[in-house]
Amino acid sequence: MKLSATLAVLAAAAAEAHYTFPSIANTPDWQYVRQTANFQSNGPVTNVNSPDIRCYQRNPGSGAPGTYTVAAGSTLAFNAKASISHPGPMAVYIAKVPTGQTAATWDGSGRAWSKIYQDRPNLGGSMTWPSNGARSINVPIPRCLQNGDYLLRAEHIALHSAGSAGGAQFYISCAQITVTGGSGTYSPRNQVSFPGAYTATDPGIMINIYYPVPTSYTPPGPAVETC
């Protein structure tokens, strides 16, 4: 009985140390964000070759209940629950929904994802991260996007155990959005697919962030696109 109680406490502590990205702006959890497989456990994805690396959906093939309208050139908050409690980089990708589909029906497959947000560490006696402890990330929506439906993918890579392949932890969600008021000139130079964008040994994924303290850091994936 004591052992069972101890294991339950440890499991609860582990879940509290992890997190999800269940909402955007001031909206209910999982209303505009596709419910992830870790919505209860908060556990991460660790295999970059798994289909889970795309949107980590609980029910692949089914979208969120709604699609959120956002103006190009505005800023949209992607919210963490409870907070981003591990060190590592935060990135946001966007993918235009193909003609004939909607944000609620498209699975996000193919080389359609471009990066629109990326934070970087502060380097010195230790690596510190702007997103560590954050409860939301303010994502600039490019003013040059074409109008229409998109998937917006939040990704935080926890690097506290990333010294060997498979040690990095990915916390991922995909929101469904409709962009209005864009200039339509967005032309990304580097689009990637998930899976396919990363390998387990990319230097920004397999890294010991503690000793020796790195003097530089290269985030995985493509560069941030600009208008």
In this predicted structure, the answer to whether residue 189 has a pLDDT above a threshold of 70 is yes
Distance between CA 24 and CA 49 in Å, rounded? 27
What is the per-residue pLDDT for 17?
73
Looking at the DSSP bridge assignments, the partners of residue 149 are 178
- Helical ranges in the chain per DSSP H: 2-17, 52-55
Distance between start and end Cα atoms, the chain: 60
Distance CA 44, CA 20 (A): 9
101-130 per-position pLDDT tens digit: 999 999 999 999 999 999 999 998 999 999
* pLDDT tens digits, one per residue of 16-58: 579 999 999 999 999 999 999 999 999 999 999 999 999 999 9
Q: Say how far apart CA 59 and CA 68 lie, in whole Å.
A: 20
Confidence (pTM):
0.92
Q: Looking up tokens 């580097």, which residue turns up?
A: 190
**Residue 116 to residue 71: CA distance in whole angstroms:** 15
